Structure 1
């Protein structure tokens, strides 16, 4: 059995003081939003409590689906790099970027540089190549496929996108790993489901994403962005593919969004295919008590025979 944990939307705090030069951009609106809305509801203490409990669960791997920072300031990216080192060996932690990690033009390039050890596919790491999306990491019988929907957008927009080049490569990876009989997990920040996010925060390329997985298959899709605990399904080639979001790992109790949570997926081969049991664990009161909130048996696709 392989136990995969999932967290998202870290929004590390406190936010460093930006310079006037750094605020002459979209960052000014994000800074105001942080000061007025997020400063009191997304805290490092909440995150620390959640991560401490996650570590007691001893998952085999951790997926982090974006928005580690807030305004993509250089100081934030460096802080996030140090924080990632506290999670464990980069071999055991996989990251994809979110829209806040690509907040302004040029930020995503820096994100790739700072967080490269957690974003390198197995081939890129072995060949000392730079980060490339989508990437593939294979751990046991599980294929971890990192897709980037992150992009810089105009003020008051938080859309992501998936374009033809990434979609083609995603299809190739899904086809290859399906023939190897692996359990394929796609990690992406924005929800690849229509209506899951408002129009100014949606993924541009949902249709392209869904056509790709409908043709090539996948077993599970993990995303963040909405700060909600949701489960959807999209069509695969003969089966439904679960699409799961987890609330922000920094959200304190009592806000208008669910408090901090992580999910763990217990993945195992069976005689007829795969089993995947999902456990939701998170903060349940103002004292930051962490409990198991719910458990679900996910219906996932069949095992493909090895080529």
Structure 2
């Protein structure tokens, strides 16, 4: 049984909540990588980094991101995976230092991505270094048990792990029946309390929304759970492009929003680094989401205001 604990910040009565959503940082130099660590699928990823990715994912963009987030001052930041490139222990150490610059574990929630689990590795050598950022209020995800649950103000941040090792040239994810069963329990409890349920996952959960080799393999089962219990919003990364979709699950129509890589310096507009600021306001029948897009400008070397829109999120009661 997963229990919903009181919000540590003590502001459950708030009628507003501001969440920043970033993803796919790929923050690593991959310098000094030993040959023995590449005698597996990582060799392909290392070659991809040397040929292409190191010219795209820029530390300069991430520095600009930190400055922009500090000015925006959201209530909370969600990071939906792929902080590393090859899931190497040293990359986890680099990412842990960057997370400290981003904010405190109480103010930042992280879920893992497929690059963070490129191959099977020891939890102690990898994710343990991010444990305070992964953990829910009951600390379960700190030991690799998902979903995580954090209650912040009026919001329930529900973190799922779709990350698992896969074959070469494949970047699929899966949740598994045990995690889905716990997910259903969390949705039911938080829905009964009238919380704004925001689901954080790396892979897009809508079947057909991404290529077969990058898909969430049990997306239909995910949809069945959400059809029974409802949710107000789903946020993801993985695709490296902006995505706005809707999951039709039973009687529920749930907005699904994806962001590009937060470190991408490409001049191609669809792929250039972006992040979302989500401003939630309680309404008579649910929530109003004011979505603000912050986009990196290669010419100005900073993030600038992009399009804004309003999305109504009716309460999806179980």
Aligned counterpart, 2:9: none
- Determine helix, strand or coil for the equivalent of 2:139: helix
Give the corresponding residue for 1:244.
257
- Helix, strand or coil for the counterpart of 2:20? strand
- Call closer, same or farther: CA 1:244–1:123 in 2, change over 3 Å: same
Residue 258 of structure 1 corresponds to which residue in structure 2?
271
- Do structure 1's residue 230 and structure 2's residue 243 form an aligned pair? yes
Task: Name the CA distance, whole Å, in 2 between partners of 1:109 and 1:134.
Answer: 19
Unaligned runs of 5+ in 2: 1-15
Larger mean CA deviation between 276-285 and 240-249 belongs to 276-285
Unaligned runs of 5+ in 1: none
Is the Cα–Cα contact under 8 Å of residues 3 and 265 in structure 1 kept in the other structure? Answer: yes
Q: Give the corresponding residue for 1:177.
A: 190
1: CA distance between counterparts of 2:217 and 2:316? 30
In structure 2, the residue matched to 1:18 is 33
Change (3 A) 1:16 1:61: same
Aligned to 2:114: 99
1:140 and 2:153 equivalent? yes
Q: How does 1:20-169 map to 2 (within 5 A)?
A: 20-106=35-121, 110-124=125-139, 130-169=143-182
Query: Shift in Å at residue 113 of structure 1?
Result: 1.0
Specify the SS of the correspondent of 1:160: coil
Distance in 2 of aligned mates of 1:147 and 1:198: 21
Q: How many residues of Structure 1 are paired with residues of Structure 2 in the alignment?
A: 303
Evaluate the alpha carbon distance shift between residue 74 and residue 81 of structure 1 in structure 2; reply closer, same or farther with a 3 A threshold.
same
Query: Once the 2 structures are TM-superposed, how far is the Cα of residue 303 of structure 1 from its aligned partner?
Result: 6.6
Alpha carbons of structure 1 residues 107 and 299: separation in structure 2 relative to 1, 3 Å: farther
* Cα distance in structure 2, aligned partners of 1:74 and 1:123: 26
Identify the range of structure 1 (257-266 vs 21-30) with the bigger mean alpha-carbon deviation: 257-266
CA contact (8 A) 1:50 1:260 kept: no
